[in-house]
Every structure is written in C-alpha cells, then in structure tokens.
A and B are shown apart, each in its own frame.
Chain A
Amino acid sequence: MPLGIVSPPATMPSIRCFPEAQVAVEGVGKVFQKDATLLSRLRSKPADRYVALEDVNLAIKKNTFVSIIGPSGCGKSTLLNLIAGLDRPSSGQILVDGERIKGPGPDRGIIFQNYALMPWLTALANVEFAVESACPALSRGQVKERARQYLSMVGLERAMHRYPKEMSGGMKQRVAIARALSINPDILLMDEPFGALDALTRAYMQEEILRIWENNRITVVLITHSIEEALLLSDQIVLMSRGPAATIADLIDVPAVRPRQRSAIEQHPDFLAIKLRLEEHLLNETRAVEEHI
C-alpha cells in the first residue's frame, strides 16, 4: 500500500503522524553549524550554516525493505545517522515504535560502507564483541555459540578465525552483516554497504542479502546509488531531492513478488517505467548539483 507524502506537523510532537509506522520521521530538519558555540550561533553568518535536511517526513512500516536513493550530497547518510540515533535532528523528531529515540541502541543495527570491522579481532571475535556488548547477560559459551551461528548464516563458518586483513571485501561485509544481525535488532540500517565492492561481488552480496532477509524479515533501510539494486531488494524506494535543504521528492512502491529473482525483476512490465522515472529524476538532480556554481 503506497503511502503518500504528508505535510509536516508544526507543533505537538506527542501526536504521531504515522501511527502505523515502526519508524516515523516527522518534520525532521538538520542544520550543520561550524563552531557551534552560543556566541557564534547568535551572530552566525550564512556561510557557517549548512542546511542538510529540511522538513523530511517518512514512515517506514515494520519488516519492510526500504531503499533511499538520491544524488550526491542529498543528505542520505545524514538521514540514516539520524535514524540510527548517532546524531540529533535540529528540528522535528524521529520515533521508533512510538518512542522518540534518544541515541543509538542495539535495536537498530548499522552496516557501513567500509565495514568498520575491528582489525585486531578475528571474524568470530568481532561478532562476539557485538553480542557481548548488546547482551551482557549471556555467558561466555552462549556468546560464542551465538556468534558462530550468525557467521554460519552468512556462510563464513570456515573463515571464523581469520582476521579482516585476510578477507576479501565481500567476506568482510558478510561479517559485518553477521555482527549487525547477531544482536537481533528490529531495524537494520545500511549505508551503501556494497559501494566498495566490485560489480560481481556486489551482485553476489545482493543475492546474499535477499536470501538472509527472506529467512529473517526485519525492517531494513538501505542507502544506495544503484537503481538496479534498489529495485531488486526493496519494497519501497524513497527518492530524495538534492541538497542543501534536501527533502523527500517521491515515494515509489516496487510491486514485484517475493522471493525476488533478478531475471524476473527485469522482465516485470512496470520495471522499465519505474527505472526510467528514477533515472530521469536522478540525472536531473545530479546535473543541477554539478552545474551549480
């Protein structure tokens, strides 16, 4: 069921705009201030202030796979950071399960483009670290078992004792996925997770994600540059306008059935139309960004 754009509520944050959404982004703006002291804020010059996001409204239903796509510099990562709780919105609010988020937490797992694996730990130890941190009540044995389990899920049981420097990009990202999922998050946030991989590994990883997601459906928010990837993986694609003061430009449903087949997607009747529409939007926005002096 497509959800349209809703105009932002100016006040009364206690009233939820999107009562059915698991993640509700309501009227969120983000301003980056250089030198954020009180004095400089009072006499701030326009150049010191950068409005990344303005009036973003978004509702994400539980256990849906949502992709966010947009031109460079449109604040996709910023938005993801806000949802993750790693940063606070300058205006508006973000609710998860009806509660305003106060910071990062184990209910929202994160996957980074450059993996963020701790290089002094083995794959197994990396996942163990996550399990230990998020579930302190577990015993040492239980932690180990859990970690092993998730590494098997991503197909790395035979590489558990390798260090990140001994692994390929794809393997590293799989460890990251295992790590993120091992703490049983409600939401998985992925910031261009396959951007650093070559095309073939990327394709392989997309298949992996599909497979894993089929087995545990959780809410996923994926940031990507690739239209094909978005079409292949997501239920819904969020299109962002260019920055500064970026906002949601459009919301597109992907009607394909699950489980997804790459070939099936390409042959779907609406596929081409959606693809062209996305491409046109992106190209326009990108041109505007590049030619803006």
Chain B
Amino acid sequence: MPENRLSKPLAIAISSVSILLALLVWQILASQGLLGKNFPGSVKTLQELIWWLSDPFFNNGPNDLGIGTNLLISLRRVLIGYSLAVLVAVPVGLLVGVSQIAESSVNPFVQLLKPISPLAWLPIGLFVFRDSELTGIFVIFISSVWPTLINTAFGVSSINPDFLKVSRSLGASKFRTIVKVVLPAVMPNILAGMRISMGTAWLVIVAAEMLLGSGIGYFIWNEWNNLSLPNIFAAIIVIGVAGMLLDQVFGWLQKRFDYQI
C-alpha cells in the first residue's frame, strides 16, 4: 500500500527523534560498560564537542589548534586537491568518451590505478614531492579523480545520439559540438561523479593527514595518541557533519541541472 508523502516538518521531526534515541541508547550502553571499559558515552562526547566548539579557532602553536581551525585547514586541502582532480577528470573524461583511441590509451591506467588505496599513495607521494603538504594534496587528487573521470566518460558515451545528429546536420564544428552540446548533455553525469569524488576526497583527508601536522585528520590521530576517545568521537561528528554539508551542495547542484532528458 503506497504511503502518502510525509510533510517536511514531520520528516525532520522523525529524523531528530531517531538521532536522540540513538544517543540515548549509546549513553546507556556505555555507562553500563557494555561497549568496553572506558568507552565514553554520548554525554561525555557531547560535552567535549561543546567545549571544542566554544572556542573553535584558538591557536597554541601548530600542534595544538582549535577544532574550527583544523577543520578549515582540512577543507582547504580537500578543496585544492579536489579542484585539481575535477580540472583533470572532466576534460580527460570528455576526451575518453569522444575518442576511442583516447579510451584505449587511458583505460588501462584507470583500471590499474583506481583500486589503489590512498594509504599506499602516501609514501610514494612523499618520496616524489618531498613535502608533506603537497603529498597530502596529491593523495586527495589521485583518490578523487576516478569517479568524476569515469562518470564523465560514461555520460559522453551514453549521450543521446540524436543530439549529435542535430549538431552535425546543423554544420556545427567538433569543438562547438563538444562545448555546446556534449558538455551540457553530460552535466548530470559529471555532477554525479563529482558528488562521489567529493565524498572520497573527504574520506581520504583523514588518512592523508596522518602525515601532516595539522587538520582534522591529524587531530584525530593526535587524540588517539592520548587515548582520548571522547575527543575522537567529537571530531568524527564534526567530520560527518562537514561531509554531509558538502554532499548537500552537490545535491542542490544536481537539482539545478536536472533536465529530465
């Protein structure tokens, strides 16, 4: 039996209740010691989180920064690496979709490099770049370039052939066709790929920042050194919320470019 659509306020209310319930269960389990010794409950975690959020931008030197500062540092790295990835992935994806020669040349690399874990790229990057910051950005780049590239190429190869026929019959040049027809036509695919890539980039930053002395990923590792689980959970919550917000941006973009072809 099909359900009627929930009104938006009701849907939000249900989500909130669900979260509160989860926090409650977490607190109970932790305080009863059912999650292991010294496992912090949601109350302690939230206390830590509030403490961190109360002064998010303090700076006591490079190894001791506020959570807001660390988050911004990570965001900056992600955005740089991610932007480079998109700048490379979209043109290469277009080329691969349009030209079979390009596809045959590029495809083996895509298949070989795509499954490599970002953690494996860390030492390679450090060896080549000799600089932790560049290495971090490189690792983000090399991990997030694939979804956008693949989706773009797929979009191009599955473009409605009638568009190309129209363009050809109108006498449009190849360049004009690519820019004015192919690119807009595959924009939904590109955005879908970019959305996945952003998720990957944000995921990778936590691993990549083990090497770097700042950022939210480093923060987690530093707190792990002190076996401070509440701080780690607080950081996880911050990371999760940030990732969700980034994802929402793409959701909004996708809606804007929803042509309903």
Contact = CB atoms under 8 A, between A and B. Distances in A.
Interface in B149-205: 160, 162-163, 165-172, 176, 180-181, 184-185, 187
Interface of A: 84-86, 103-106, 108-110, 112, 114, 116, 118-121, 129-130, 133-134, 163-165, 183
Main secondary structure of the interface of B (DSSP, over half): helix
Given A85-B169, A106-B171, 20 more contacts: A84-B165, A86-B168, A104-B165, A104-B171, A105-B169, A108-B169, A109-B169, A110-B169, A112-B165, A112-B166, A114-B162, A116-B160, A118-B163, A118-B181, A119-B260, A133-B171, A133-B176, A134-B171, A164-B259, A183-B170
A106 B169 contact: yes
A84 B164 CA distance: 13
B261 interface: yes
Nearest to A109: B169
A116 B162 contact: yes
A78 to B, nearest CB: 14
Contacts of B260: 119, 165
Nearest to A112: B162
A198 B260 CA distance: 21
A104 B162 contact: no
Contacts, number: 60
Interface of B: 160, 162-163, 165-172, 176, 180-181, 184-185, 187, 257, 259-261
A119 B259 contact: yes
A134 B170 contact: yes
B169 A84 contact: yes
20 contacts: A84-B169, A85-B169, A86-B168, A86-B169, A104-B165, A105-B171, A110-B166, A110-B169, A116-B163, A116-B166, A118-B166, A119-B259, A119-B260, A119-B261, A120-B184, A120-B257, A130-B170, A133-B167, A133-B170, A133-B176
A116 B170 CA distance: 13
